[in-house]
Amino acid sequence: MKPVVNRTLHDFKHHILAGIITAGPLFITWLVFSFVLGVLADVGLPIVRLLSVVFPGSISASKPFQYTLAVIITVVLFYLVGKITSEVVGRQIFELFETTLERLPVVNKIYTSVRQAVDTLMNKKNSGQRVVLIDFPSPGQKSIGFLTHVLADATTGAPIAAVLVPQAINPSSSYLQFVPMGTVTETDLTMEQAMSMLLTGGAVCPEVIHYSAPAIAAVDREGSPIPVTVALETPNALNGEKSAD
């Protein structure tokens, strides 16, 4: 009886694990999709409630219909805003609206900060914004970060990197680290690749990554460059030549 129970428990755990591995990505996708739809619906629901007052009965009868209509209205509003602001007159009106917001005591700080963050993350042509690796949370442990700004040390003038370090699985929670520019490791990762690595906990990532800083070029006595492999493999040989001299 005991072997049968053990085999049954083993099969149960095996199938549960297989189900999690199979359905896990779909479940996470559904959670993200539901969150986005919920935000869109929350934006459009006040308009739907207003329409239900103007047209009672048909709109207020079905909650799923209200939810769907709210999402559609929000998407249409975003489209109209983007369409209007792409025109010259629309940009001028939007700039006037932004100027008004910047004059409000509390709103201006929040709006300006969010606007700068969005512009930094969305502007792919900005050479200052790129995916990097830094020593975090302790030396020798690398973390993915987004280099958002480079500033100078007021005492030494040395460049300081402002790096946003998102948390895995939940990138909306991040750390802002200020580190010497010399300790930052450049990568050739795109923003999309970095976000995929964070959201999947490293399960989706490229096969090769720039983890170490570039090696300093080595030269011989005549000043000619020595290949990196030779320079790393024959330091004792070079020392032996110096001793013989």
Please tell me what DSSP assigns to residue 122: H
Q: Is a pLDDT exceeding 70 seen at residue 224?
A: no
What value does the CA radius of gyration of the chain take, rounded to a whole number of Å? Answer: 28
Q: Is a pLDDT exceeding 80 seen at residue 227?
A: no
Q: Please state the rounded mean pLDDT for residues 222-238.
A: 50
Residue closest to 146 by CA, chosen among 108, 116, 175, 111: 175
Domains within the chain, CATH numbers bracketed? 2-83 (no CATH), 123-199 (2.30.30)
Q: What is the pLDDT of residues 126-160, one digit of tens each?
A: 445 689 999 998 888 899 999 988 899 999 999 99
Q: What is the pLDDT of residues 28-63, one digit of tens each?
A: 788 888 888 888 888 888 888 887 777 776 655 677
Q: Which of 86-100, 137-151, 174-188, 223-237 has the lowest mean pLDDT?
A: 223-237
Residue closest to 172 by CA, chosen among 241, 218, 121: 121
Q: What is the pLDDT of residues 174-211, one digit of tens each?
A: 899 999 998 999 998 988 888 888 888 888 888 888 88
